[in-house]
Chain A
Amino acid sequence: MSDNKQIVADIDHSLYDFKDIENEKDFYRMEEGLTEETVLKVSEEKNDPEWMRDFRLECLKLYNEIKMPNWGPSIEGLDMDKISSYVRHKSDMKGKWEDVPEDIKNTFEKLGIPQAERESLAGVGAQYDSELVYHNVKDEVAAQGVIYTDLESALRSEYADMIKSHFMKLVPPTDHKFAALHGAVWSGGSFVYVPKNVKVEIPLQSYFRLNAAGAGQFEHTLIIVDEGADLHFIEGCSAPKYNVANLHAGCVELYVGKNARLRYSTIENWSKNMYNLNTKRALVEENGIMEWVSGSFGSHTSYLYPMTILKGDNSKMEFTGITFAGKGQNLDTGAKVVHQGERTSSVINTKSISKDGGIGTYRSSVTIQSTAKKAKASISCDSLMLDSISRADTIPGMDIRTNDADVGHEAKIGRISDEAIFYLMSRGISEEDAKAMIVSGFANPVSKELPLEYAVEMNNLIKLEMSGNG
């Protein structure tokens, strides 16, 4: 068995929680707060084309105009004047692992990223604070014409026009306050282009690490899967815990072409001081398939509802998600789908677990427009309450504007039954293990959708949370 498996199996919290004492002089850190000056500085740092600089300023204006959301968890603890929007190491992005600065390399080594790349990934990108520090694609994948690079260099490449015509078109900065913020200070992230009919057999992965205290991470991921192509993209996130608030306001825009398929998997384990206000959106053309697999374990506060627009006829989406809200966490997660094309179909399957005073909210919207004849939507959300100081709330909405649609919805809230625990205990399993086992079983529909290493990691995270050490 590989070293990687060993590391993942032996996971403990320190794996995510270690802090690398950053040698201050090696890092460039933007002053806290958000002004036109800071935005211009970011733009300058990034050597933006002119349109991008203007776009950033436009977004800043919108950010100042748009009100905070009047729904969802409180974000009062987030003081934008105390968040640094840009932190980077004073060295450039590397294509070779050996060239990555030692301190950053250590962090990712501890997270098992390089091993994972060698063994099971077609390509890896690693972002540290605001910048990508490493990017590499396997030769055979590159030879298929697959582009996987950081967004900044892509902006200065032959793909510049493609980016300009897609960047923040799916998630316009007018969408909400934090989309506008993202547009103003975005930095880092990946660009993926899979050409027509190319099937990428093994997954691409991006790993995001926010190491600096009181900082924001605003990476932008843009993926275009052209007609008939196929891709699995994995995203992992972690950060050490600090006593000050950190902010993640990333943006993911996914374009799934005709007959194409994209699977986007996320295991999010941000530290519990993180405000995770992330926006993810996919546009699916005729016969295209979008699959989301989403595990939310970390963060102090989350707003996360990946959205799919089923534009083309016969396009499909499947969302499988699990959220584990533990002590001090307020995780508001779910999914949104808009049916536009005929015979489009969506399946939403979520599991949510609340424990130790955590607040877990499942929130969703299913919209079936009048053009979506013969559309099918099926929603199922289960919540598990592990004690009576936690909350599990289910807030799903449906807006249906055609009679020629078939919509089914099921929601359940409950707890682990005493009979179930006794049954397992009568087989010699301790009460704690019995509970962990039932919770893992509850989460199984999600973990079985993940690649093995990630499924193992997720189960370990559940065990960690169940033992109260999460």
Chain B
Amino acid sequence: MKLNYPISIIIAFSISKATSSVIGIRPQDEVLFQPDQNGKWACLNHPEIVLDISKINDDYCDCPDGSDEPGTNACSNGQFYCQNEGHIPGYIKSSLINDGVCDYDVCCDGTDEWNTPISCPNRCEEIHDKYIKAKETKEQEYQAGVSAVIKFLKEAEASRIELQNQFKTKSYELLQAEQDLTRYLESPEYLSEAVQQEEETKARLVIDQIKLKVSDAFKVFTLGQNNLGELRIILDSLSENFNENLKDNAVKQTVERYKNHLEKYKSQYDAEHANELSFDSKSRKLIKSLKEKNIPNSSKKFNDVLSTVKNEIINYESITERIFDLESILNYLIDNYNPNYNDPNVKRAVNTYQDFAVNKEETEVIADSFITELTDDFMEIYKYVDQIPEEIKITFEEVEDKLPFIDRLRYKLKNLLNGFIGREYNPNPVPIIQGEVKDNANDFVSKLTQKRKDLSKSVDLIKKNLETNYGPDDILRPFNALTIKWHIGEYDYDFNFVGDIHQRGNNQNLKIGSFETVEVNNISESEHELLLSFDHGARCWNGPIRKALIVISCGPDHELLTVTEPEKCEYIFKVKSPIGCKLKPEDKLKHGLQF
């Protein structure tokens, strides 16, 4: 027969009694350690190895399975049985036997040190009391947390049911919308009107394209200006605060080079300082000017737009040049500064720049051809406008008055663009027009298509939400919209258990990560921890993307216990919260929960 050694503690709660004559075994296993008629005995799992019975516990390992030395540490794979009378019996690893340490966590009776001068008084009573007390405390925390858990679970359930209902409704609406679209596309009304509208659409399309181009160009300008601003803050602060006593030549050089930079570009910086209009507001003004209804009379406006854009491109080129210069200064600093000097100001400059460098939105250089292109676009408008009959223009304007027609077109174009570059666009859903104004056919089709798309999207979203793992019994579901704020150490944290975690402090707001998965770590029958993984936070210098593990154990309130960063940019948050309480089946039943 094989003796089955349990790994460590026998979980089953049974108070043990009685002792055995062979040290280190369970009383009931004594039968396995009897000599045969010749006074011999065989290793339990190696019957071919036969030993004199005196070799049991003689402090020399004879059996490969360690079975001849249950009471000593002679065999590296041995197990020693602690009776632990009054508490839970357990097996202790042979490496802990007779080593001069009372390993009370397994052997509360102190029998593991039977062969050393160390005295290990039996502490089972005290340990058992503690064990019971700890159990009680846990139970109290559980009881304190349980009503909150029930509340969350009920909310979760309600929200789930609500979603399930929405899913049904929306699915039905989607079906309807699909049918509407099909019907209309096949209708004679649609087939007759469709052709007429092509030209006017083209003209507006071009205008919108222009607006988009201009707006995107200005976004690039703004970004450049922001990047320049950030770099300057880094260098301003370094120049002001660095420790001149430290003989770090690289830092001194950096500051010197920055000073020269400011000197060299003084006129540009002064001009920018004097000019209060940001790229952003300039951009808005320009776009607004393009909203001119009377397109043929707009040529002056168009020229204004062109010259403004031209100017700004020149400004932007200067910005790019300065960014390049400042980056090369800072790259020089990174390559050459002496980290051992540990000037916090230098380190801050380096870290901030490194964060900036890896996270910055890179901008594409705006080509010279941009102006030519824009001019061509304007010319194209005239081509269409000339051909547009008067009455249609009026129709246009009417539609535009009632509807954000331009916006709709832009939206279309954006979608096209975004589709092309693979970027998600957050649409302002197009309102559905109900009868009042007779829409033209293409618009109506796009309206119907849009509706179908929207519905399909919301159905997908609901479905995805319902399929998301929100932990045991859906416990995290109600936390969708809840952000908990915590302060620990020098940082503030914004926690959304199923959204994002942000860390604020030191003039930075960093995303630590977004909720990815939740797992349950079962500790015992009555206890577990929730392990929430967050990933895809802001990138750290030298590679890693910030991520975090949230370990939630049972407690009466949400409480952030510790934040540690054992690895750079990998955080562990320890949290106590009712969410971490493992609901007993009877409590579920009592509160009528379905799970």
Do the two chains belong together in a single complex?
A: no
